[in-house]
């Protein structure tokens, strides 16, 4: 076997002492981190410290007395990829299998998702964007040519060498202005509530960026580079819920009664595992005491061996300021946007063309980012429930600093009047302003995250950065980053000698052997036994190390 690229972590004997770990923030990231800390090793003392009176962070559902559910944050989770399968496996572990509701890829809400755009300037109506091979060869508004022409353009366009660039500029160069202006612009709004002209292609679609750099063309590169695509974790593929999702061809899923039930199941699980949960306790500062960290709050201080921060980076920036002004500055450079959301309920079934909803490109004179047809995906009796999302990157420009809830409601109601021809008044509504709810992975984001983690390593801080500010804004990515951090904590507990190999110098077949860590699965990670040191050896890819801030972190 090739020589290790570097060797890290404790070579000392297995530590028997109970380590204490503080998890900052009780959003889905914090709760998942606490769950995996308990699950992956001998339990340490784990304390989750949450500022508000409730857990879940942006995962938030209201259930009315008549059992009608409004989702205020995330509502569907992706199935695909290791992160998608991992969340399904977690749902199964939490005993939620019977409550999981999958949406098959042939369902109208899967086929007609994000692909409806309201183009006032090109017809002023909803356009279903192509969702079949045949449709790719057909000219359909708002595009002036069949989309296949954009593929040809990619094959012809010359390569531009760069470290990173905006999503818009990348797609404009490779696939043409219409794909950038309509599809990518709208998708950036439907995931980041952000501006495609500022978001980073490397952070959002790293593989597309990498294959262009390597092969010159994106489509050709994807074809040639198939074997380097992320391998699915075969351990996860054996999980019952994952198998069901594959069998029934789910594209997304949720939990009966709302996604907040997922968070409630996590809370129950970690309480059963003796995790302490402190609510209504905002962490103010972190200071150092020898090798330990001390969390300072208005109520009490907490000294721990390890901190897993699942706070948004802008809040962590002020919490970490006394300990490292440099780290604080790096974290404060990650921008956030505010989204206004309005849930609307109408009697009867009012959607003529069912789908997931529609997005409005930024070229439209419209303050609305998009509208989700909630009850097309998950029906709730004889009613139509819609969620209108507005503002995002443009929130201040469109609404000022502090718009009234009534003004947001007016915008939402007139939007659905115009686009969906729903003329009646909503029977029930809910308005919320989600301040700084989505971090923006702007050009250079991956360098900022990598520098922050490198600084933590250099300063030898027992600290991990987890959550939607760093390695992906979706719930699946947040849960995966929590799992990786818990995995590292287990390693630092001294249970493993941990070696990260340089993938390039290893036979890929050896590297891709799936590892089993205390019965837990990790992609591109393996364990073996070192007869010299009588110790289990963990080995994982630089990609995992990057996401958890290992020394050879390379963005
Ligand atoms: C409108 C909207 C729609 C979305 N839709 C989807 C979707 O459909 N699918 C999907 O996968 N994802 C979606 N997301 C993204 C998803 O909601 C997030 O990725 C996820 O909820 C982030 O979880 P987190 O734990 O990282 O952070 P948060 O949810 O931000 O949790 C952080 C926690 O830290 C707490 N906290 C803050 N300050 C302190 C402090 N000083 N001390 C202690 N605690 C503190 C907060 O109260 C909060 O509970 C959506 C997000 C939004 C806003
Ligand atoms: C209009 C605003 C928004 C809508 N959803 C979000 C915003 C800001 C937030 C959001 N939506 C998704 C994610 C998770 C992404 C992930 O990595 O898993 C987040 C943070 C899911 C999502 N929504 C759309 C797409 C293409 C995706 C990702 C892939 C998937 O889940 O299949 C499209 C979309 N979002 C919104 C609408 C109205 C819409 C399309 C019609 C609302």
pLDDT of residue 461: 92
Q: Is the pLDDT of residue 530 over 50?
A: no
Residue 354 domain-assigned (yes or no): no
The larger pLDDT score, comparing residue 336 to residue 519, is at 336
What pLDDT does residue 317 have?
98
* Cα–Cα distance, 203 to 192 (Å, whole number): 12
Beta bridge partners of 528: 537
Residues 238, 215 within the same domain: no
In this predicted structure, the answer to whether residue 11 has a pLDDT above a threshold of 60 is: no
Predicted ipTM of the assembly: 0.98
Task: Answer whether residue 57 shows pLDDT above 60.
Answer: yes
Return the ligand 1 atom nearest residue 389 CA: 1
DSSP category for residue 180? I
Band of residue 467 on the pLDDT scale cut at 50, 70, 90: very high
349 has a pLDDT exceeding 70: yes
Which pLDDT value is given to residue 171? 92
Q: Please, are residues 73 and 434 in contact by the beta-carbon 8 Å criterion?
A: yes
Q: Is the pLDDT of residue 470 over 90?
A: yes
Residue ranges making up the domain that contains 134:
127-228
Measured from the alpha carbon of residue 109, the closest ligand is: 2
- State the average pLDDT over residues 109-119: 64
pLDDT band (50, 70, 90) for residue 498? very low
Per residue in 136-170, pLDDT (tens digit) is 566 777 777 777 778 878 788 888 888 899 999 99
Q: Supply the pLDDT for residue 356.
A: 93
Sign, CA dihedral 356-362-366-367, equals positive
Please tell me which residue, 110 or 513, carries the higher pLDDT value: 110
* Most confident segment among 21-30, 113-122, 299-308: 21-30
Q: Does the global pTM surpass 0.80?
A: yes
Q: Which of 350-354, 407-411, 527-531 has the highest mean pLDDT?
A: 407-411
pLDDT band at 404 (very low <50, low <70, confident <90, very high): very high
Query: What is the predicted pLDDT for the residue at 126?
Result: 79
Asked whether residue 367 is domain-assigned, the answer is: no
Same domain? 285 vs 312? yes
Average pLDDT, the chain: 83
Q: For ligand 2, atom 9, name the residue with the nearest CA.
A: 191
Q: What is the pLDDT of residue 223?
A: 83
Q: Is the pLDDT of residue 207 over 90?
A: no
The pLDDT of residue 438 is: 98
In this predicted model, which residue has the larger pLDDT, 274 or 555?
Answer: 274
Report yes or no on 411 lying in a domain: no
H/E run at residue 82: helix 81-93
Q: Do 250 and 211 lie in a common domain? A: no
Place of tokens 């339990």: 43
Residue 508 or 296, more confident:
296
Which of 176, 197, 228 terminates a domain? The answer is 228
pLDDT of residue 3: 30
**From the CA atom positions of the chain, what is the Rg in Å?**
24
* Domain shared by 330 and 444, yes or no: yes
> Given this model, what pLDDT does residue 118 score?
52
- pLDDT for res 490: 66
Tell me if residue 350 falls in helix, strand or coil: coil
Query: What separation in angstroms does the CA of 555 have from each of 222, 284, 444, 451, 546?
Result: 20, 30, 10, 9, 7
Confidence band of 107 (pLDDT split at 50, 70, 90) = very high
Nearest CA owner, ligand 2 atom 24: 190
Query: How many angstroms is it from 187 CA to the middle of ligand 2?
Result: 8
pLDDT digits (tens, 9 = 90+) for 171-196: 999 888 888 888 899 999 999 999 99
State residue 546's pLDDT score: 45
Alpha carbon of 468 to ligand 1 centroid (Å): 7
- How far is the centre of ligand 1, averaged over its atoms, from the C-alpha of 426 (Å)? 28
Which H or E run includes 118?
A: strand 116-119
**Omega of the bond leading into 142 within 30 degrees of 0 (cis):** yes
Q: Is residue 476 part of a domain?
A: yes
What pLDDT does residue 234 have?
76
- Atom number in ligand 2 closest to CA 84: 18
Number of domains in the chain: 2
Segment 476-490 shows an average pLDDT of: 87
Only one residue has tokens 């974290």, namely 331
406-437 tens-digit pLDDT = 999 999 999 999 899 999 999 999 999 999 99
With a cut of 60, say whether residue 66 has pLDDT above it. Answer: yes
Whether 511 maps to a domain, the answer reads no
Taking residues 468-491, report their average pLDDT. Answer: 89
User: Same domain for 324 and 236?
Assistant: yes
Is there a single domain that holds both residue 63 and residue 204? no
Distance in Å, CA 298 to ligand 2 centroid: 37
Greatest alpha-carbon pair distance for the chain in Å reads 76
CATH number at residue 217: 1.10.3110.10
Residue 329 confidence (pLDDT) above 70: yes
Q: pLDDT tens digit string along 215-258?
A: 888 888 888 877 667 667 778 888 999 999 999 999 999 999 99
Q: Which of 495, 524, 541 is the last residue of a domain?
A: 495
The answer as to whether 239 is a domain residue is yes
Q: Whose CA is nearest to atom 22 of ligand 1?
A: 468
Which residues have C-beta atoms less than 6 Å from ligand 1?
A: 24-30, 49-52, 57-59, 73-77, 282-283, 310-312, 315, 339, 341, 434, 437-438, 467-468, 473-476, 478
Which of 87, 191, 372, 376 to mutate to test ligand 2, by most ligand atoms within 8 A of the CB atom? Answer: 191
What separation in Å is there between the alpha carbon of 327 and the centre of ligand 2? 30
Q: Whose CA is nearest to atom 21 of ligand 2?
A: 191
Q: Which of 100-104, 373-377, 520-524 has the lowest mean pLDDT?
A: 520-524
Average pLDDT over residues 111-132: 61
Structure tokens at 221: 């590169």
Six token digits for residue 88: 């399904």
Query: For residue 110, which atom of ligand 2 is closest to its CA?
Result: 32
Indicate which ligand has the atom closest to the C-alpha of 359. 2
**Of the ranges 129-133, 414-418, 505-509, which one carries the lowest mean pLDDT score?**
505-509
Q: What is the distance in A from the centroid of ligand 2 to the CA of 388? A: 13
Q: For residues 482 and 74, what is the distance between their CA atoms, to the nearest angstrom?
A: 18
Is residue 481 over pLDDT 70? yes
Residue nearest to atom 3 of ligand 2 (CA): 190
pLDDT value of residue 255: 98
Same domain, 145 and 221: yes
Q: Are 235 and 330 in a shared domain?
A: yes
- Of the residues 228, 262, 288, which one is the last residue of a structural domain? 228
Q: Whose CA is nearest to atom 27 of ligand 2?
A: 191
> Which region among 95-99, 423-427, 536-540 has the lowest average model confidence (pLDDT)?
536-540
Q: Same domain for 303 and 170?
A: no
Instruction: Provide the CATH number for the domain around residue 474.
Output: 3.50.50.60
Whether residues 31 and 148 fall in one domain:
no
Q: Where is average pLDDT lowest: 103-107, 241-245, 395-399, 495-499?
A: 495-499
- The ligand with the least distance to the CA atom of 252 is 2
> What is the tens place of the pLDDT at every residue in 262-272?
999 999 999 99
Q: Up-side HSE of residue 65: CA atoms within 13 Å toward CB?
A: 0
Same domain, 218 and 249: no
Tell whether the model's pLDDT for residue 396 goes beyond 60. yes
Is residue 23 assigned to a domain? Answer: yes
User: How far does residue 173's CA lie from ligand 1's centre (Å)?
Assistant: 33
Residue 31 has pLDDT above 80, yes or no: yes
Reported residue count of the chain is 555
The verdict on residue 274 lying in a domain is yes
202 and 284 share one domain: no
pLDDT score of 343 more than 70: yes
């Amino acid at each position: 076997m090739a020589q290790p690229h570097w060797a890290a972590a404790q070579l000392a004997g297995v530590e028997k002492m109970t380590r204490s770990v503080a998890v900052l923030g009780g959003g889905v990231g914090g709760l998942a981190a606490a769950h995996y800390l308990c699950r992956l090793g001998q339990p340490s003392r784990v304390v989750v410290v949450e500022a508000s009176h409730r857990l879940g962070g942006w995962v938030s559902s209201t259930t009315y007395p008549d059992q009608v559910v409004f989702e205020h944050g995330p509502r569907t989770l992706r199935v695909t990829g290791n992160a998608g399968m991992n969340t399904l496996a977690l749902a199964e572990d939490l005993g939620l299998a019977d409550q999981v509701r999958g949406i098959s890829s042939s369902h109208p809400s899967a086929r007609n998702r994000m692909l409806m755009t309201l183009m006032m300037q090109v017809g002023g109506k909803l356009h279903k964007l192509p969702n079949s091979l045949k449709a790719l060869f057909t000219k359909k508004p708002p595009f002036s040519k069949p989309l296949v022409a954009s593929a040809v353009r990619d094959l012809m366009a010359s390569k531009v060498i760069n470290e990173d660039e905006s999503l818009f500029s990348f797609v404009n160069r490779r696939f043409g202005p219409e794909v950038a202006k309509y599809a990518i612009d709208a998708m950036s709004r439907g995931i980041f509530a952000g501006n495609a002209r500022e978001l980073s292609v490397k952070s959002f679609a790293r593989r597309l960026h990498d294959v262009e750099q390597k092969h010159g063309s994106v489509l050709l590169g994807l074809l040639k580079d198939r074997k380097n695509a992320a391998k699915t974790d075969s351990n996860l593929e054996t999980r019952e819920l994952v198998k069901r999702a594959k069998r029934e061809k789910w594209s997304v899923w949720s939990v009966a009664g709302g996604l907040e039930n997922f968070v409630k199941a996590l809370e129950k699980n970690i309480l059963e595992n003796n995790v302490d949960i402190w609510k209504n306790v905002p962490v103010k500062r972190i200071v150092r005491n020898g090798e330990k960290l001390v969390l300072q709050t208005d109520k009490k201080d907490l000294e721990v061996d390890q901190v897993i921060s699942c706070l948004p980076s802008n809040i962590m920036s002020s919490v970490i300021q006394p300990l490292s002004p440099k780290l604080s500055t790096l974290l404060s450079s990650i921008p956030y946007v505010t989204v206004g959301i309005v849930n609307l309920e109408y009697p009867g079934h009012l959607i003529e063309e069912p789908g997931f909803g529609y997005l409005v490109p930024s070229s439209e004179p419209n303050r609305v980012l998009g509208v989700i047809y909630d009850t097309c995906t998950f029906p709730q009796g004889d009613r139509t429930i819609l969620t209108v999302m507005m503002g995002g990157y443009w929130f201040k420009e469109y609404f000022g600093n502090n718009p009234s809830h009534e003004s947001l409601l007016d915008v939402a109601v007139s939007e659905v009047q115009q686009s969906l021809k729903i003329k009646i008044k909503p029977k029930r509504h809910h308005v919320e302003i989600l301040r700084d709810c989505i971090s923006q992975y702007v050009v250079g984001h991956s360098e900022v995250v990598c520098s922050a983690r490198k600084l933590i390593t250099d300063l030898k801080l027992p600290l991990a950065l987890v959550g939607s500010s760093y390695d992906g804004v979706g719930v699946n990515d947040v849960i995966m980053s929590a799992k990786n951090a818990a995995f590292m904590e287990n390693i630092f507990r001294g249970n493993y000698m941990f070696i990260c190999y340089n993938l390039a110098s290893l036979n890929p077949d050896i590297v891709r052997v799936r590892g089993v860590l205390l019965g837990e699965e990790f992609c591109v990670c393996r364990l073996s036994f070192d007869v010299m040191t009588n110790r289990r050896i963990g080995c994982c890819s630089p990609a995992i190390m990057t996401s958890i801030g290992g020394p050879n972190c390379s963005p």
